[in-house]
Amino acid sequence: MGKFSTNRNVVIRRLVFVSILLALVVVVLGAYTRLTHAGLGCPDWPGCYGFIDVPETAEQISVAENAFPERPVEPAKAWNEMIHRYFAGTLGLLILGIAFLSLKRRREGQPVILPLLILGIVIFQAALGMWTVTMKLMPVVVMAHLLGGFTTLCLLFLLYMRLDPNRMPRDDWQIKKYSKYAMLGILILGAQIALGGWTSSNYAALTCTELPICQSGWVDQLTFEESFDLIPPKRETYEFGHLGHNERVTIHVVHRLGAIITSIYLAWLILMILIKSQTEFFRNSAKLIAVALVAQVSLGISNIWFSLPLSVAVSHNIVAALLMLTLIRLTYSLKRRI
């Protein structure tokens, strides 16, 4: 019975692993859709101009544009949006299957609460995807949709680690206290990712074009009155942003300052683990975080230096996700070791 239960646990763990890979793809496609200004490539949801795919024939385009005269069909943008939806829908079905199997095998010690939580977040993600379109790219909805994707990925990764029967090293007592600092690192990084989402959804990524903070005179342009209002004035659309230059400068500067704070904190945490750890496992974990951190900072600088090239901007999103996963791995390992 034990071997049979273990084999079934392996099946679920493999499903979770596939879901993690798919969630990474969805995060990448979401970033690509946002950065190619294709968030309204389809003006309705879940279809596209009333079709299950993108209208491409002359007849289909005529029908689509009669139904949505305010939004001419742009097939390239529409396909960006629909491909993202197809992958997100497939991920949702996989997560539904994981939740079902977890409930079915709960008597065998299978985690249940976490799979159900992930399923609940994915359902909410679908609603956010709909609101992104129906609320015309309202920044708070776009940012929440981004964070929901990251949260789904991170919780799937946590579930994958929980399903791992292997134990962590137990003789590294000197770094026991750093589990709380690693958890704080997750919160700081999460806040920075949220700031990145707010910067992107308000089209403020190219407002500051110089390093390290912004172009000269930026201090005099700071204004916090409307820069971080979650509920903006009502607009027909929020595409390409609704805030003025000073508000966008403020958002961008706060994101840059957040990046500096996050980098300093994570660099300190990495250094402490490398100095205090007695095992290769935790030293290697710290090195992985260091590699991801250096890559992320380099990509952030490249975004400014090269004026936000698409490949670099998308990579900035991917590496942010990988940095978070490496930090979650360290935090979980520190807590599991105890």
Q: Could you write out the DSSP letters of every residue in 100-119?
A: HHHHHTGGGT---HHHHHHH
272 near 178, Cβ under 8 Å?
yes
Cα distance from N-terminal residue to C-terminal residue, the chain:
29
What is the rounded CA–CA span in Å between residue 257 and residue 223? Answer: 15
The closest of 336, 334, 337 to 182, measured between CA atoms, is: 334
81 is catalytic: yes
Output the six-digit token pair for 150.
Answer: 């990251």
Cβ contacts of 183 within 8 Å, gap of 6 or more:
331
The catalytic residue among 74, 81, 239, 280 is: 81
Torsion of CA 307, 310, 311, 313, to 10 degrees: 70
**Amino acid present at 87:** F
Cα–Cα distance, 175 to 281 (Å, whole number): 12
Which residues, other chains included, contact 176 with Cβ-Cβ below 8 Å and sequence gap of 6+? 334, 337, 338
Q: How far is Cα 104 from Cα 231, in angstroms, rounded to an integer? A: 42
Active site residues per annotation:
81
